[in-house]
Amino acid sequence: MMNDQKKYEYWMEIALREAEKAYENDEVPVGAIIVFSNQIIGKGYNQIEKLQDPTAHAEMIAITAAASYLKSRRFEGCEMYVTLEPCAMCAGAIVLARIPKLIFGAYDEKSGACSSLYTIVNDVRLNHRVQTKGGVLADKCGNLLKEFFLTKARKIEN
* Per-position DSSP letters for 38-105, written without gaps between them: TEEEEEEE--HHHHT-TT--HHHHHHHHHHHHHTSS--TTEEEEEEE---HHHHHHHHHTT-SEEEEE
pLDDT for res 1: 59
pLDDT in tens, the chain (158 residues): 579 999 999 999 999 999 999 999 999 999 999 999 999 999 999 999 999 999 999 999 999 999 999 999 999 999 999 999 999 999 999 999 999 999 999 999 999 999 999 999 999 999 999 999 999 999 999 999 999 999 988 887 76
Enzyme catalytic residues = 59
- Tell me how far apart the alpha carbons of residues 35 and 43 are, in angstroms, rounded to a whole number: 9
Q: Cβ atoms within 10 A of the Cβ of 155, count?
A: 9
pLDDT at residue number 152: 83
Q: In this predicted structure, what is the pLDDT of residue 67?
A: 98
**Predicted local distance difference test score (pLDDT) of residue 57:** 98
Q: What share of the chain is helix, strand, coil (3-state, %, to 5)?
A: 45, 20, 35
Closest residue by Cα to residue 102 from 34, 2, 49: 34
